[in-house]
Amino acid sequence: MTISDQEIKCFISAIKKSSPYDLSDYSYKSLKRRVTKILNDNKLDFSSLIRKISENNDFLESTVREITVNTTELFRDPPVWQTIKYEILPKFKNHESIRIWHAGCSTGQEVYSLLILLYELNMFEKTIIYGTDLNATVIEEAKKGIYKYRFNLVYLDNFDKVMKQNPNNNEVYDVPYSKYLEIDKIRDIMKIKSFLLKKPIFLTHDLVTVSDLGTESFHIILCRNVIIYFNFNLQNRVFNLFHKNLLDNGYLILGAHETILGPLSEKFQKSNHVNIKK
Ligand SMILES: C[S@@+](CC[C@H](N)C(=O)[O-])C[C@H]1O[C@@H](n2cnc3c(N)ncnc32)[C@H](O)[C@@H]1O
Protein backbone atom coordinates (compact mmCIF):
# COMPACT_ATOMS: atom_id res chain seq x y z
CA MET A 1 0.00 0.00 0.00
CA THR A 2 1.43 3.42 -0.92
CA ILE A 3 0.46 6.49 1.05
CA SER A 4 0.58 9.81 -0.83
CA ASP A 5 1.78 13.17 0.53
CA GLN A 6 -1.82 14.36 0.24
CA GLU A 7 -3.04 11.52 2.47
CA ILE A 8 -0.33 12.31 5.02
CA LYS A 9 -1.51 15.95 5.07
CA CYS A 10 -5.07 14.72 5.61
CA PHE A 11 -3.88 12.41 8.44
CA ILE A 12 -1.96 15.27 10.13
CA SER A 13 -4.97 17.59 9.98
CA ALA A 14 -7.33 14.89 11.34
CA ILE A 15 -5.01 14.45 14.35
CA LYS A 16 -4.65 18.20 14.79
CA LYS A 17 -8.40 18.79 14.65
CA SER A 18 -9.17 16.33 17.45
CA SER A 19 -6.13 16.70 19.76
CA PRO A 20 -3.28 19.00 20.87
CA TYR A 21 -0.78 17.08 18.71
CA ASP A 22 0.76 18.77 15.70
CA LEU A 23 2.65 16.31 13.48
CA SER A 24 3.08 18.82 10.61
CA ASP A 25 6.86 18.92 10.99
CA TYR A 26 7.43 15.21 11.49
CA SER A 27 9.33 13.48 8.70
CA TYR A 28 6.92 12.41 5.95
CA LYS A 29 9.03 9.37 5.22
CA SER A 30 8.62 8.06 8.74
CA LEU A 31 4.93 9.11 8.92
CA LYS A 32 4.20 7.12 5.74
CA ARG A 33 5.89 4.05 7.16
CA ARG A 34 4.01 4.25 10.46
CA VAL A 35 0.59 5.05 8.91
CA THR A 36 0.97 2.07 6.58
CA LYS A 37 1.70 -0.14 9.59
CA ILE A 38 -1.35 1.22 11.47
CA LEU A 39 -3.59 0.55 8.44
CA ASN A 40 -2.29 -3.01 8.12
CA ASP A 41 -2.37 -3.83 11.84
CA ASN A 42 -5.96 -2.55 12.21
CA LYS A 43 -7.13 -3.82 8.81
CA LEU A 44 -8.42 -0.36 7.89
CA ASP A 45 -8.55 1.59 4.66
CA PHE A 46 -7.41 5.20 4.73
CA SER A 47 -10.84 6.88 5.00
CA SER A 48 -11.90 4.55 7.86
CA LEU A 49 -8.66 5.47 9.65
CA ILE A 50 -9.46 9.19 9.38
CA ARG A 51 -13.03 8.59 10.57
CA LYS A 52 -11.87 6.48 13.54
CA ILE A 53 -9.34 9.14 14.57
CA SER A 54 -12.07 11.77 14.77
CA GLU A 55 -14.59 9.51 16.54
CA ASN A 56 -12.51 7.55 19.03
CA ASN A 57 -10.12 9.38 21.34
CA ASP A 58 -8.45 6.23 22.69
CA PHE A 59 -7.71 5.16 19.13
CA LEU A 60 -6.31 8.63 18.37
CA GLU A 61 -4.00 8.43 21.41
CA SER A 62 -2.78 4.96 20.52
CA THR A 63 -2.25 6.10 16.92
CA VAL A 64 -0.07 8.99 18.10
CA ARG A 65 1.86 6.56 20.30
CA GLU A 66 2.47 4.33 17.25
CA ILE A 67 3.57 7.31 15.19
CA THR A 68 5.96 8.67 17.80
CA VAL A 69 7.64 5.29 18.52
CA ASN A 70 8.32 4.67 22.21
CA THR A 71 11.07 2.05 21.91
CA THR A 72 13.77 2.44 24.52
CA GLU A 73 16.08 0.36 26.69
CA LEU A 74 18.53 0.49 29.60
CA PHE A 75 21.94 1.83 28.54
CA ARG A 76 20.93 1.96 24.87
CA ASP A 77 24.15 2.14 22.78
CA PRO A 78 26.70 1.22 25.51
CA PRO A 79 29.63 3.20 23.95
CA VAL A 80 27.63 6.43 24.42
CA TRP A 81 27.04 5.53 28.08
CA GLN A 82 30.71 4.76 28.55
CA THR A 83 31.51 8.24 27.22
CA ILE A 84 28.96 9.71 29.64
CA LYS A 85 30.41 7.71 32.54
CA TYR A 86 34.11 8.20 31.95
CA GLU A 87 34.31 11.55 30.12
CA ILE A 88 31.26 13.73 30.70
CA LEU A 89 29.99 13.19 34.26
CA PRO A 90 33.48 13.45 35.86
CA LYS A 91 33.67 17.03 34.50
CA PHE A 92 30.89 17.93 36.95
CA LYS A 93 32.34 16.06 39.93
CA ASN A 94 33.24 19.25 41.80
CA HIS A 95 30.09 21.21 40.92
CA GLU A 96 27.70 21.96 43.75
CA SER A 97 24.78 20.68 41.71
CA ILE A 98 24.18 19.19 38.29
CA ARG A 99 21.05 19.80 36.24
CA ILE A 100 19.98 17.34 33.55
CA TRP A 101 17.03 17.29 31.11
CA HIS A 102 16.14 14.11 29.29
CA ALA A 103 13.73 15.17 26.49
CA GLY A 104 11.69 12.42 24.83
CA CYS A 105 12.52 9.94 27.60
CA SER A 106 9.67 7.51 26.81
CA THR A 107 9.21 4.94 29.62
CA GLY A 108 12.28 6.23 31.44
CA GLN A 109 14.90 3.47 31.07
CA GLU A 110 17.55 5.96 29.93
CA VAL A 111 16.75 8.33 32.80
CA TYR A 112 17.35 5.47 35.24
CA SER A 113 20.52 4.49 33.36
CA LEU A 114 21.87 7.96 33.99
CA LEU A 115 20.87 7.87 37.66
CA ILE A 116 22.66 4.54 38.08
CA LEU A 117 25.85 6.09 36.69
CA LEU A 118 25.48 9.15 38.91
CA TYR A 119 25.04 6.87 41.93
CA GLU A 120 28.17 4.90 41.04
CA LEU A 121 30.11 8.18 40.74
CA ASN A 122 28.79 9.54 44.08
CA MET A 123 27.02 12.38 42.26
CA PHE A 124 23.45 11.19 42.77
CA GLU A 125 22.47 13.48 45.66
CA LYS A 126 23.44 16.71 43.95
CA THR A 127 21.64 15.94 40.71
CA ILE A 128 18.35 17.43 39.57
CA ILE A 129 16.99 15.43 36.66
CA TYR A 130 13.91 16.06 34.49
CA GLY A 131 12.45 13.42 32.17
CA THR A 132 9.88 14.70 29.68
CA ASP A 133 7.87 13.21 26.86
CA LEU A 134 4.97 14.16 24.61
CA ASN A 135 3.08 11.08 25.66
CA ALA A 136 1.34 11.02 29.08
CA THR A 137 1.04 7.19 29.12
CA VAL A 138 4.79 6.59 28.83
CA ILE A 139 5.45 9.23 31.49
CA GLU A 140 3.17 7.35 33.90
CA GLU A 141 5.08 4.13 33.12
CA ALA A 142 8.38 5.95 33.65
CA LYS A 143 7.26 7.04 37.12
CA LYS A 144 6.45 3.42 38.04
CA GLY A 145 9.71 2.01 36.65
CA ILE A 146 8.26 -1.46 36.20
CA TYR A 147 9.29 -3.27 33.04
CA LYS A 148 8.96 -6.72 31.53
CA TYR A 149 11.97 -8.75 32.64
CA ARG A 150 12.11 -11.02 29.61
CA PHE A 151 11.84 -8.11 27.19
CA ASN A 152 14.62 -6.28 29.00
CA LEU A 153 16.78 -9.34 29.50
CA VAL A 154 18.90 -8.68 26.42
CA TYR A 155 19.50 -5.16 27.68
CA LEU A 156 21.09 -6.41 30.89
CA ASP A 157 23.97 -7.15 28.58
CA ASN A 158 24.19 -3.36 28.07
CA PHE A 159 24.29 -2.97 31.87
CA ASP A 160 27.24 -5.36 32.05
CA LYS A 161 29.12 -3.50 29.32
CA VAL A 162 28.68 -0.10 30.93
CA MET A 163 28.81 -1.00 34.62
CA LYS A 164 31.29 -3.84 34.73
CA GLN A 165 33.85 -3.00 32.06
CA ASN A 166 36.16 -0.03 31.75
CA PRO A 167 37.17 0.32 28.08
CA ASN A 168 40.06 2.62 29.05
CA ASN A 169 42.02 0.16 31.17
CA ASN A 170 40.25 -3.21 30.82
CA GLU A 171 39.45 -3.24 34.55
CA VAL A 172 36.36 -5.26 35.50
CA TYR A 173 33.99 -4.22 38.30
CA ASP A 174 31.47 -6.35 40.11
CA VAL A 175 28.20 -4.41 40.19
CA PRO A 176 25.23 -6.71 40.90
CA TYR A 177 21.90 -5.93 39.20
CA SER A 178 20.28 -6.16 42.64
CA LYS A 179 21.94 -2.87 43.64
CA TYR A 180 19.57 -1.03 41.29
CA LEU A 181 16.95 -3.49 40.01
CA GLU A 182 14.47 -5.87 41.61
CA ILE A 183 14.14 -8.83 39.31
CA ASP A 184 11.27 -11.32 39.60
CA LYS A 185 11.81 -13.89 36.85
CA ILE A 186 8.65 -15.85 37.61
CA ARG A 187 6.36 -12.83 37.39
CA ASP A 188 8.44 -11.46 34.50
CA ILE A 189 9.10 -8.17 36.28
CA MET A 190 12.13 -5.91 36.38
CA LYS A 191 11.53 -3.03 38.78
CA ILE A 192 13.72 -0.01 39.36
CA LYS A 193 14.62 0.27 43.07
CA SER A 194 12.62 2.85 44.98
CA PHE A 195 15.54 5.15 45.90
CA LEU A 196 16.06 5.70 42.15
CA LEU A 197 12.33 6.07 41.41
CA LYS A 198 12.05 8.99 43.82
CA LYS A 199 14.67 11.09 42.07
CA PRO A 200 13.48 12.18 38.60
CA ILE A 201 10.87 14.83 37.92
CA PHE A 202 8.80 13.36 35.09
CA LEU A 203 6.58 15.74 33.08
CA THR A 204 4.64 15.70 29.82
CA HIS A 205 6.13 18.22 27.42
CA ASP A 206 5.80 18.63 23.67
CA LEU A 207 8.96 19.66 21.80
CA VAL A 208 6.82 20.87 18.87
CA THR A 209 5.59 23.79 20.94
CA VAL A 210 9.30 24.54 21.52
CA SER A 211 8.69 26.00 24.93
CA ASP A 212 11.02 25.94 27.94
CA LEU A 213 10.29 23.80 30.97
CA GLY A 214 10.28 27.01 33.00
CA THR A 215 13.40 25.89 34.88
CA GLU A 216 16.97 27.06 35.25
CA SER A 217 19.40 26.09 32.45
CA PHE A 218 20.96 22.64 32.25
CA HIS A 219 24.48 21.20 32.33
CA ILE A 220 23.39 18.24 30.19
CA ILE A 221 20.46 17.69 27.83
CA LEU A 222 19.83 14.23 26.40
CA CYS A 223 17.45 13.90 23.48
CA ARG A 224 18.10 10.56 21.90
CA ASN A 225 16.27 8.91 19.02
CA VAL A 226 13.63 11.64 18.92
CA ILE A 227 14.69 14.21 16.29
CA ILE A 228 15.17 11.38 13.82
CA TYR A 229 11.35 11.54 13.40
CA PHE A 230 11.34 15.34 12.79
CA ASN A 231 11.90 17.25 9.56
CA PHE A 232 14.86 19.62 9.14
CA ASN A 233 12.80 22.65 10.12
CA LEU A 234 11.58 21.20 13.43
CA GLN A 235 15.02 19.74 14.17
CA ASN A 236 16.49 23.25 13.95
CA ARG A 237 13.82 24.74 16.17
CA VAL A 238 14.44 22.05 18.76
CA PHE A 239 18.25 22.48 18.59
CA ASN A 240 17.68 26.18 19.15
CA LEU A 241 15.55 25.39 22.22
CA PHE A 242 18.26 23.12 23.59
CA HIS A 243 20.98 25.70 22.89
CA LYS A 244 18.98 28.31 24.80
CA ASN A 245 18.43 25.92 27.72
CA LEU A 246 22.03 24.76 28.06
CA LEU A 247 24.64 26.48 30.20
CA ASP A 248 27.88 27.45 28.42
CA ASN A 249 30.01 24.35 27.79
CA GLY A 250 26.90 22.25 28.49
CA TYR A 251 26.43 18.94 26.71
CA LEU A 252 23.74 17.97 24.21
CA ILE A 253 23.68 14.19 23.76
CA LEU A 254 21.79 12.88 20.73
CA GLY A 255 21.10 9.37 19.45
CA ALA A 256 23.89 7.37 17.84
CA HIS A 257 22.55 8.16 14.36
CA GLU A 258 21.54 11.77 14.95
CA THR A 259 23.60 14.84 14.24
CA ILE A 260 23.16 18.62 14.23
CA LEU A 261 22.97 19.91 10.68
CA GLY A 262 22.06 23.44 9.59
CA PRO A 263 22.62 26.81 11.30
CA LEU A 264 22.84 25.51 14.86
CA SER A 265 25.79 23.22 14.07
CA GLU A 266 28.10 26.25 14.35
CA LYS A 267 27.00 26.87 17.89
CA PHE A 268 28.14 23.47 19.12
CA GLN A 269 31.49 21.75 19.15
CA LYS A 270 31.12 18.09 18.23
CA SER A 271 33.16 15.55 20.16
CA ASN A 272 32.70 11.80 20.40
CA HIS A 273 28.87 11.28 20.26
CA VAL A 274 28.21 14.58 22.01
CA ASN A 275 27.77 18.27 21.21
CA ILE A 276 29.20 20.92 23.53
CA LYS A 277 27.64 24.38 23.58
CA LYS A 278 30.21 26.97 22.45
C1 LIG B 1 12.26 6.19 20.25
S2 LIG B 1 11.75 6.97 21.74
C3 LIG B 1 13.31 7.42 22.42
C4 LIG B 1 13.41 7.13 23.89
C5 LIG B 1 14.80 7.33 24.50
N6 LIG B 1 15.22 8.71 24.39
C7 LIG B 1 15.80 6.43 23.86
O8 LIG B 1 16.60 6.86 23.03
O9 LIG B 1 15.82 5.22 24.17
C10 LIG B 1 11.12 8.51 21.10
C11 LIG B 1 10.32 9.28 22.15
O12 LIG B 1 10.13 10.63 21.68
C13 LIG B 1 8.86 11.07 22.09
N14 LIG B 1 8.44 12.20 21.26
C15 LIG B 1 8.05 12.18 19.96
N16 LIG B 1 7.67 13.41 19.59
C17 LIG B 1 7.84 14.23 20.67
C18 LIG B 1 7.62 15.60 20.92
N19 LIG B 1 7.12 16.38 19.97
N20 LIG B 1 7.90 16.10 22.13
C21 LIG B 1 8.39 15.29 23.11
N22 LIG B 1 8.62 13.97 22.95
C23 LIG B 1 8.34 13.45 21.74
C24 LIG B 1 7.99 9.84 21.88
O25 LIG B 1 6.78 9.91 22.62
C26 LIG B 1 8.92 8.71 22.33
O27 LIG B 1 8.70 8.36 23.67
- Mutate which of 26, 65, 66, 68 for ligand 1? The one with the most ligand atoms within 8 Å of its CB, which is 68
Q: Among residues 23, 48, 68, which one ends one of the domains?
A: 68
Domain of residue 172 covers 78-277
Residues with CB under 6 A from ligand 1: 68-72, 76, 104-106, 110, 133-135, 138, 206-208, 224-226, 255
Ligand 1: which residue has its CA nearest to atom 11?
A: 104
Q: Does any domain span residue 218? A: yes
Q: Do 151 and 52 share a structural domain?
A: no
Q: Do 118 and 167 share a structural domain?
A: yes
Q: Does any domain span residue 73? A: no
Tally of domains in the chain = 2
Q: Which residues contact 256 (CB under 8 A, 6 or more apart)?
A: 77, 80, 224, 273
- Mutate which of 65, 100, 106 for ligand 1? The one with the most ligand atoms within 8 Å of its CB, which is 106
How far is residue 270's CA from residue 112's CA, in Å, rounded to a whole number? 25
Mean pLDDT, consecutive 10-residue segments, the chain of 278 residues? 93 97 96 97 96 97 95 92 95 97 98 97 98 97 94 81 86 90 92 98 95 94 97 96 97 95 94 88
Q: Do 187 and 52 share a structural domain?
A: no
Q: Is residue 107 a contact partner of residue 200, using CB atoms and an 8 Å limit?
A: no
Q: Does any domain span residue 247? A: yes
Q: Do 203 and 114 share a structural domain?
A: yes
How far is residue 67's CA from residue 38's CA, in Å, rounded to a whole number? 9
Ligand 1: which residue has its CA nearest to atom 24?
A: 68
**Burial label, 267 (beta-carbon count in 10 A; 0-12, 13-18, 19+):** middle
How far is residue 137's CA from residue 186's CA, in Å, rounded to a whole number? 26
Residue-level pLDDT at 149: 86
Phi, psi (rounded to 5 degrees) for 119: -65, -45
- Name the helix (H) or strand (E) containing 159: helix 156-159
Q: Among residues 19, 45, 68, which one ends one of the domains?
A: 68
**Model pTM?**
0.95
Q: Do 147 and 11 share a structural domain?
A: no
